[in-house]
Amino acid sequence: MDSFIDPARVQALTARERKRFAAARPRSAELAARGAEHLLFGVPLHWMNDWGTPFALHVAEAQGARLTDADGHQLVDFCLGDTGAMFGHSPAPVVAALQAQAARGMTAMLASGDAAVVAQTLAQRFGLPRWQFAMTASDANRFLLRWLRAATGRPVLLVFNGCYHGTVDDVFVDLEDGRPVQRASLLGQVHELTRTTRVVEFNDLSALEAALAPGDVACVLAEPVMTNIGMVLPDPGFWEAATALIRRHGSLLVMDETHTLSSGPGGYARLHGLQPDALVLGKPLGGGMPCAAYGFSAELAARCEAAKRSAPPGHSGIGTTLTANLLAMAAMRATLTTLMTDAVYAPMIQRAGQLAEGLRAAIARHGLPWCVTQVGARAEFQFCARPPRNGTEAAAAMDDALEHLVHLALLNRGVLITPFHNMMLVCPDTTGADVARLLAAFDEVLHDLVAPDGPA
Ligand code: PMP
């Protein structure tokens, strides 16, 4: 790819920023060294080493839009746990609900009074009448896939190239030179995924139609906007035409709204009048507590219930013991009723608009051929002049070395953005001053990258 940045300068600046990070963080270094004694890779989840920092950044506390690291530096958090904290860290209504519920039982493998309220609220907000729960969006996708294969009796899953839907084995099939291949980075995968997963490019209706034509596709699983390979927006009319094709071939449409919940209290599909048969919601649904939900149309729900009733009794392969526990249901009720509202979303989306505009202005000021895309409270800059139309184009615009540098340099200037690509999220507590701080840091980083007389 060509981000129009000199790789030698990226290397030199990265060395400078790594030194700066390490010098300011003796306590994080010490905690990382202690972690190395008994944790695999020194961290509780190996992804925590993927931030591009010389050693793992450790957190002391997080509140609202801010995070204090172990060395006492205050960071404005635009990563927000990669969306898990989209309503801010430890939002007061969720803390209160958790405190109240924690003293009255946390898990019982039984429903409480919250279950019906949560399901009713989900039905009203998202327009699907029946719901089930999971602890993570990964699990919700995995469970839904089982329901849909059982309900349709069809084996094949269809996904878009470059997608991510959590640690669901079935989705890790990519297009390489037009051919489906299993993602090589998957560890310990022994099944041949290409036998039951078909993959096409996003925004390609004729490829979609060809992939549906054999009549063996249980469902198309998709984010309404791709958000995990940078951002890829649907072409105008794409989803309407795709939905008609999916229906015509007797398949089902599952929209994974885990990230596009940034669009508003009913997600992207509701906002844009799309008609999925099933929906997956994860990450921020519990205000930071692990929980996820998935919804069914009335017709699909009836087919799923019939599939379960006609199966022999015993393990369904769906569910886990702590799923829909009392605490999780209390957290979802509080989040849905007090945070996932128009009144909370409106200022978030407006602030994200200021952020996106500011990023575009900085990019233009420094003459870079990069673009910015916004989906509600979420914005992303990409190292290409025009927004990509599919996963292949989006992947071509990625530049790991440059991305690491920009993220690390922003961190050293007091702002945190999401690792893996260039995503920023605004929460209800993000202020205009926070956005200005990010924009000033971004401007400084771009100056260092392109100034003819070298970095400041
Ligand atoms: N679906 C989408 C669209 C996601 O972006 C992610 C995580 N990035 C997931 C599912 C999985 O979420 P989790 O890791 O919380 O299971």
Count of helix runs (H) and strand runs (E) in the chain: 14, 16
Domain with CATH 3.40.640.10 in the chain: 92-339
Tokens of 208: 């979609």
374 lines ligand 1 (CB under 6 A): no
Strands annotated E in 168-318: 173-176, 179-182, 197-200, 217-222, 252-256, 278-281, 292-296
Residue having the nearest C-alpha atom to atom 9 of ligand 1: 166
pLDDT attached to residue 453: 79
Please tell me the distance between residue 137's alpha carbon and the centre of ligand 1 in angstroms.
5
Domain 92-339 has CATH 3.40.640.10: yes
pLDDT attached to residue 452: 80
pLDDT attached to residue 434: 98
Please tell me the distance between residue 163's alpha carbon and the centre of ligand 1 in angstroms.
10
303 lines ligand 1 (CB under 6 A): no
Q: In order along the chain (456 residues), what is the average pLDDT of each group of 10 residues?
A: 79 97 98 96 95 96 98 98 98 98 98 98 98 98 98 98 97 96 95 97 98 98 98 98 98 98 98 98 98 98 98 96 98 98 98 98 97 98 98 96 97 96 97 98 96 79
d(CA 10, CA 297) in angstroms, rounded, equals 50
Q: Looking at ligand 1, which atom is closest to the CA of residue 141? A: 10
283 lines ligand 1 (CB under 6 A): yes
pTM, whole model, 2 decimals? 0.97
Alpha-helical segments (H) within 254-381: 267-271, 298-310, 326-334, 342-365
Tokens of 162: 């470059």
Handedness of CA 38, 41, 45, 49 (dihedral sign): positive
Residue 173 contacts residue 183 (beta carbons within 8 Å): yes
Residue length of the chain: 456
Question: Which of 79, 138, 227 to probe ligand 1 with, by most ligand atoms within 8 A of CB?
Answer: 138
Please tell me the distance between residue 84's alpha carbon and the centre of ligand 1 in angstroms.
9
Please tell me the distance between residue 139's alpha carbon and the centre of ligand 1 in angstroms.
9
Q: Which residue has the tokens 């009794």?
A: 313
Question: Which of 165, 268, 320 to probe ligand 1 with, by most ligand atoms within 8 A of CB?
Answer: 165
164 lines ligand 1 (CB under 6 A): yes
d(CA 197, CA 84) in angstroms, rounded, equals 28
Q: Looking at ligand 1, which atom is closest to the CA of residue 136? A: 16
pLDDT attached to residue 3: 60
Tokens of 304: 């799923």
Q: Would you list the DSSP string of 397-410?
A: T--HHHHHHHHHHH
ipTM over 0.95? The verdict is: yes
Q: Looking at ligand 1, which atom is closest to the CA of residue 140? A: 16
Please tell me the distance between residue 138's alpha carbon and the centre of ligand 1 in angstroms.
6
166 lines ligand 1 (CB under 6 A): yes
Residue having the nearest C-alpha atom to atom 1 of ligand 1: 165
Comparing CA positions, the residue from 361, 381, 369 lying closest to residue 424 is: 381
259 lines ligand 1 (CB under 6 A): yes
Please tell me the distance between residue 254's alpha carbon and the centre of ligand 1 in angstroms.
14
Please tell me the distance between residue 177's alpha carbon and the centre of ligand 1 in angstroms.
26
Q: Which residue has the tokens 């958790």?
A: 98
138 lines ligand 1 (CB under 6 A): yes
d(CA 175, CA 183) in angstroms, rounded, equals 9
258 lines ligand 1 (CB under 6 A): yes
Q: Which residue has the tokens 């100056």?
A: 447
Interacting residues of 73 by C-beta distance below 8 A, sequence separation 6+: 24, 25, 414
Residue 233 contacts residue 257 (beta carbons within 8 Å): no
Please tell me the distance between residue 140's alpha carbon and the centre of ligand 1 in angstroms.
10
d(CA 58, CA 339) in angstroms, rounded, equals 28
Domain with CATH 3.90.1150.10 in the chain: 7-87+343-450
Please tell me the distance between residue 85's alpha carbon and the centre of ligand 1 in angstroms.
13
Question: What's the Cα-to-Cα distance from 201 to each of 185, 192, 227, 312, 387, rounded to whole Å?
Answer: 20, 21, 14, 38, 15
Fold of 7-87+343-450: Aspartate Aminotransferase, domain 1 (3.90.1150)
Please tell me the distance between residue 235's alpha carbon and the centre of ligand 1 in angstroms.
23
Please tell me the distance between residue 166's alpha carbon and the centre of ligand 1 in angstroms.
4
